[in-house]
Amino acid sequence: MTEATVETFGARLRRSMDTRGPLCVGIDPHASLLSAWGLNDDIKGLETFTRTVVEALADRVAVLKPQSAFFERFGSRGIAVLEKAVEEARAAGALVLMDAKRGDIGSTMGAYAETYLHRGSPLFSDAVTVSPYLGFGSLRPALDAAVINGCGVFVLALTSNPEGAEVQRAAAADGRSLAQLMLDHMAAENEGAEPLGSVGAVVGATLGDAGVNLAINGPLLAPGIGAQGATPADLPGVFGSAVGNVVPSVSRGVLRFGPDIGGLRESASRFADEVRTAVSGA
């Protein structure tokens, strides 16, 4: 498939959500969750946990979102587990969103783009999370690589952590909040894209009324469903008319039902059904 004919991430995501359900499940192998599964906090526990989640969910959920930091903490052996998980999840039909939150400038940002968004890389993913708070223009290497390779980029906009507000709600020179400024940049990147743009925003589902214009013609990754306190029923209140483009992200709310594969599948299916109901009733 040539650059001119490569299918966009936005189109692939829309189809995956429509057929598999609008849900992203995080793969977050932190120490307490490994312990809850009866696993040791070591490379063997990491391998068992990750393999189980991929086996249970990769053939049925729209998006799997590995949190890179929880693999990086084990060094090269942890990265090897992550590489295998990405390969196997994509082979089973799930879109892989690498939650790496990378942000830098120039050649360094270009290197991050080569890591996650270039075909042939061991960590090639369908999309990656990035931070724009070195200036939206600093993301250009990732944005360009995403276009070439049919990938997506999810840009931090309004995160659910309370510390984020001191930056994201601050006023830009023209009076817009910095979050709104970033969202407007995303909308410009997605202009004219059908059925959905490939530049998404990360907006916490726990925010209540987001207080910004979320009509970016792109996906809206919504962490915070489940253990962080938000529910699928909260989504219309946060996202308003853009709720149809929301990709709710659940981690512990699903993973706590492991290591039983049936429990993981049942929980993910229940969340997806609840999201469908919430979105259709908005």
44 in catalytic set: no
219 preceded by a cis bond (ω within 30 of 0): no
- The whole-angstrom separation of Cα 46 and Cα 209 is 37
Write out the two tokens for 124.
Answer: 């090639």
Do 249 and 228 touch, CB atoms closer than 8 A?
no
Torsion sign, CA atoms 27, 127, 192, 168 = positive
125 class by beta-carbon count within 10 Å (0-12 exposed, 13-18 middle, 19+ buried): buried
Which residues are registered as beta bridge partners of 64?
25, 96
From 44, 65, 84, 101, active-site residue: 101
Helix (H) or strand (E) holding 277: helix 261-280
**Do 111 and 142 meet the contact criterion of CB atoms below 8 Å apart?**
no
The residues annotated with a catalytic role in the active site are: 101
